[in-house]
Amino acid sequence: MKRKRETKEERKRRAASVVRALRNRYPDATTALTFSNPFELLVATVLAAQCTDKKVNEVTPVLFRKYKGPGEFARARRPSLEKIIKPTGFFRNKSRNLVALSKDIVEKHGAVVPDKMEDLVALRGVGRKTANVVLAGAYDTPGIIVDTHMIRIANRLRFTREKDPVKIEHDLMDVLSRKVWSDFSFMIVLHGREVCKARKPLCHICNIEKWCPSSELES
Ligand code: SF4
Please write the tens of the pLDDT for every residue from 132-147.
Answer: 999 999 999 999 999 9
* Cα–Cα nearest to 165, from 212, 200, 139, 131: 131
Reply yes or no on whether 147 is catalytic. Answer: yes
Active-site residue, from 94, 104, 129, 171: 129
Other residues' Cβ atoms within 10 Å of the Cβ of residue 201: 21
Mutate to test the pocket of ligand 1, among 19, 199, 207, 214 (most ligand atoms within 8 A of CB): 214
Among the four given CATH numbers 3.30.300.180, 1.10.340.30, 3.30.870.10, 1.25.10.10, the one describing domain 38-127: 1.10.340.30
Burial class (CB in 10 A: 0-12, 13-18, 19+), 23: middle
216 CA closest ligand 1 atom index: 2
Closest CA to 183 of 14, 16, 61: 16
Task: Quick: pLDDT tens for 142-187.
Answer: 999 999 999 999 999 999 999 999 999 999 999 999 999 999 999 9
Q: In this structure, are residues 104 and 124 in contact, taking their beta carbons and an 8 Å threshold?
A: yes
Spot the catalytic one: 53, 115, 119, 147: 147
Do 8-30+144-218 and 38-127 agree at the fold level?
A: no
Residue from 154, 166, 73 nearest 113 by CA:
73
Examine the pLDDT at 218 and tell me if it is beyond 60.
no
Of 148, 156, 157, the one to substitute when testing ligand 1's pocket (max ligand atoms within 8 A of C-beta) is 156
Instruction: Kindly list the domain boundaries of the chain, sorted by start residue.
Output: 8-30+144-218, 38-127
pTM for this structure? 0.91
Q: How far apart are CA 144 and CA 132, in angstroms?
A: 6
187 within 8 A of 208, measured Cβ to Cβ: no
Q: Which residue has the CA at smallest separation from atom 8 of ligand 1?
A: 196
Q: Is the pLDDT of residue 196 over 70?
A: yes
CA dihedral sign, ordered 86, 49, 56, 78: positive
> What's the pLDDT at 51?
95
- Compute, in angstroms, the gap from residue 129 CA to the centroid of ligand 1: 23
Distance CA(118)–CA(103), nearest Å, equals 17
- Report residues whose beta carbon is within 6 angstroms of any ligand 1 atom: 153, 156, 195-196, 201-203, 206, 208-209, 212, 214-216
d(CA 175, CA 10): 9
How far lies 84's CA from each of 18, 52, 77, 213, 218, in Å? 41, 16, 12, 45, 49
Residue type, 101: L
In angstroms, the Cα distances linking 18 to 32, 81, 175, 187 are 22, 42, 11, 11
* CATH architecture entry for 8-30+144-218: Orthogonal Bundle (1.10)
**Ligand 1: nearest atom to the Cα of 156:** 3
